[in-house]
A and B are shown apart, each in its own frame.
Chain A
């Protein structure tokens, strides 16, 4: 089943013509409308008229998350705000998160691309879709929601959390498709078992999971426990949100919506393209975005392209499921967390030492974070009350900075192992 067969099965030659047309028009628009790109291109002596083929894109500079932060909130918008009908921000609750906007046409395109991904994952208009992604600034909830409505399915916008209620609704509303993070799907599965509910009594058939990295083993577990067909999909708010790429029922790589996104895989150190099929960092250029086009955005996600044709008949190139990150960003409960954010909070709190360790583990299906912090010796001689106060303060500050709750453990000075060279700040015990 295809959502847009004439697009999804387009011949390569035809696709490349379309990509070039769209790339050139996008470059003309960002040069005209976004001072950031104009200045950057001019400073490097780049005439956008010299970009005459898809591979010429390598002459252009990269755009990074930092560029987005420095232009917070609206600096990279290519249209006036009155033409923007929706604003989202990437996860991370700091004042410097990244803000993206959508015109009416962008929302239409986005819904359509999500509809492609949903259709590829088995969804039809007859499905009852339970969207357990967070609704709000995060693009996951609304992105999937609009696509699911576009397909014509019955959408349950339940949002995330309250697992018992999720399961009750799943039973009562006869949900046929679950959409959330893979770890939440596992939690739901485990809770169903704990509650003594038979999975066979549910109507679930499909699950589309994304927003965090997961593994084949995890897919197997989810499929076995929930008795569904589980597919992976990929997107990021800086580029659009969900709808960038998604698996078909072959479940062997994610088809990239190449008529709307131009992808490159680069070596994150040399920044040169890797040989075809090799692993590197995914770089994306948007080809049709009106409000928030990005040129060569470095996703920091590691993957590789799968050039061989897919038995499903789609001609769009597949990417391997994301294998990791090129920076130290952690994805915890679907939220992006940088160790530097934690360091920043600890630095501002009196009584703590600049030594800490972040331990990420999985309790059941859910991520669980413990921050070990060294504290000045004096505090251990004092009464418990003072220790508890400090612990609460750190917890509160971290929760407000990161947007997720974490455990805090105070430890004695020098009890965290010192390493020569780069400190090992993060211990990720999650097995995905």
Chain B
């Protein structure tokens, strides 16, 4: 569904992504793990059209989107849930969701908006309760749900999430991740960027480890979980001091 070859990208003269080759197949949950500054957000921003790559290919459903503006990428079926939620904090929950359906207004498919909102409320009943509440007054977890809901309003086939667990209590993280699993069960494809490698690999099919703009490891989530480098660097396990499990 998404195929990236030798992607190079960054900010001005700063080259953040050196050479990234990866893919996401339909129906998969794929995670990109890596430390701060590895280039995870840059990668998602480049795929979603917010940054222009300096080299390389991005194909979404075999269509080159490396030069496609962000709003068109959403139009094609690829939505981003940005880092730090970035909900419209002075608007109500419902207004946020309606804005996410922007592409359907353009297509004159307003009935999709109503259906979309119902679907999001089905997924996150708490949002229905808070329908008229100003988004800025929601808790962190609720804001994350709203950000995901807003992205879903465009009815994407590929949903990309940037650090959905950031700043959330462990229990809420669990909720968010079970939602991601449910999204996949409903036929969505998910590209998940996470610092919380353990949680991400726990639900993903496959993963890539990004380090200073390059992919150094790739494989099934199971293989990555048992890779010693991943354990040491991203799972916070010190193998030398660890005794029996």
Contact B227 A24 (CB under 8 A): no
- For the complex, give the distance between the alpha carbons of A24 and B3 in Å: 15
Contact A29 B19 (CB under 8 A): no
B50 at the interface (CB under 8 A from A): no
Output the least CB separation between A418 and chain B (Å). Answer: 57
Contact A108 B228 (CB under 8 A): no
- For the complex, give the distance between the alpha carbons of A108 and B220 in Å: 12
Given the contacts A49-B18, A52-B19, A105 and B216 also touching, CB distance less than 8 Å:
no
Contact A25 B217 (CB under 8 A): yes
Instruction: Give the size category of A's interface with B.
Output: 20 to 34
**Chain B contacts with A in 191-245, Cβ cutoff 8 A:** 208, 211, 214-219, 223, 226-229, 239-240
Contact A52 B6 (CB under 8 A): yes
Contact B218 A21 (CB under 8 A): yes
Residues of chain A within 8 A (CB-CB) of B228 are 79, 83, 103
Residues of chain B within 8 A (CB-CB) of A83 are 228
> What 0/1 pattern do residues 49 to 83 of B give for CB contact below 8 A with A?
00000000000000000000000000000000000
B133 at the interface (CB under 8 A from A): no
Contact A17 B216 (CB under 8 A): no
- For the complex, give the distance between the alpha carbons of A260 and B67 in Å: 33
Contact A25 B215 (CB under 8 A): yes
Contact A29 B226 (CB under 8 A): no
**Chain B contacts with A in 1-38, Cβ cutoff 8 A:** 3, 5-6, 18-19, 21-23
State the majority secondary structure of interface residues on A. Answer: helix
Residues of chain A within 8 A (CB-CB) of B6 are 24, 52
Given the contacts A20-B5, A105-B226, A28 and B23 also touching, CB distance less than 8 Å:
no
Contact B226 A24 (CB under 8 A): no
- For the complex, give the distance between the alpha carbons of A131 and B240 in Å: 37
A32 at the interface (CB under 8 A from B): yes
- For the complex, give the distance between the alpha carbons of A108 and B219 in Å: 13
Contact A29 B23 (CB under 8 A): no
Contact A21 B215 (CB under 8 A): yes
Residues of chain A within 8 A (CB-CB) of B240 are 82
Given the contacts A17-B3, A79-B228, A24 and B223 also touching, CB distance less than 8 Å:
no
Q: A17-B3, A79-B228 are in contact. List 18 more A-B contacts (CB 8 A).
A: A17-B21, A18-B23, A21-B215, A22-B218, A24-B21, A24-B214, A25-B215, A25-B217, A25-B218, A28-B211, A32-B216, A49-B19, A49-B214, A52-B5, A83-B228, A105-B226, A288-B219, A290-B227
Binding site for A on B (CB under 8 A): 3, 5-6, 18-19, 21-23, 208, 211, 214-219, 223, 226-229, 239-240
